[in-house]
Chain A
Amino acid sequence: NAGVTQTPKFRVLKTGQSMTLLCAQDMNHEYMYWYRQDPGMGLRLIHYSVGEGTTAKGEVPDGYNVSRLKKQNFLLGLESAAPSQTSVYFCASSPPEATVYGYTFGSGTRLTVV
């Protein structure tokens, strides 16, 4: 029972490079989310999806794009990485009853932009 799997786990990028973070869930959850965690700021929502083919902006969407072509996958893209995007990125998924059972999070991707 894998739950939510994030790849890669670590990455170092140079300013201006692009990359895609992959999130895969095997729980048939409708909703998926991307958060970033920075020291002293908790987790902040970047983008989210309420179903296959749908995406929406969260609290801090600038500099990121997302796609959900398949229900089980949610991709986060950085087109031109900046040092301010150095962070730990968490993907999560949930059923519509998330408020009772909570989200399921992946183990995170630590991204450093130099």
Chain B
Amino acid sequence: DQQVKQNSPSLSVQEGRISILNCDYTNSMFDYFLWYKKYPAEGPTFLISISSIKDKNEDGRFTVFLNKSAKHLSLHIVPSQPGDSAVYFCAATVHRGAQKLVFGQGTRLTINP
């Protein structure tokens, strides 16, 4: 039972345009959501997070939007750059105790020149 789903295995975007990566979750107990970026042969690196009490969080070119009623979040990257080409993982957790992360399957983003 996949509690966090990323339904798009891959996404291709032109350099300079907006990249939008989507994520859905089923567990209403999740109250924190995070995005990670992963390059080949490296571990995931933390990008941005959002609490369930917010609907938007912004950090430079990265913005995460949360729609609690739809159990949906998205990551916007504007403008997209070649170095953004990577696999992006959405993750969710309950903000208590061990704060174990539940990950989606990942979306491979390719930025084309």
Contacts and interface: CB of A to CB of B under 8 A. Distances in A.
Interface of A: 4, 31, 33, 35, 40-45, 48, 50, 56, 58-59, 90, 92, 94, 96, 98-108
Contacts of B51: 99
Contacts of B32: 99
Nearest to B39: A107
B41 A108 contact: yes
Contact of B100 (A48, A101, A102): A48
The 5 tightest CB contacts between A and B, nearest first, are A102-B46, A105-B43, A99-B32, A42-B103, A43-B103
Interface in B70-110: 89, 93, 95, 97-106
B105 A90 contact: no
A90 B43 contact: yes
B26 interface: no
A36 B51 CA distance: 26
A99 B105 contact: no
B44 A43 contact: yes
A44 B99 contact: no
A56 B34 contact: no
A102 B49 contact: yes
A94 B103 contact: no
B65 interface: no
A108 B98 contact: no
A35 B103 CA distance: 10
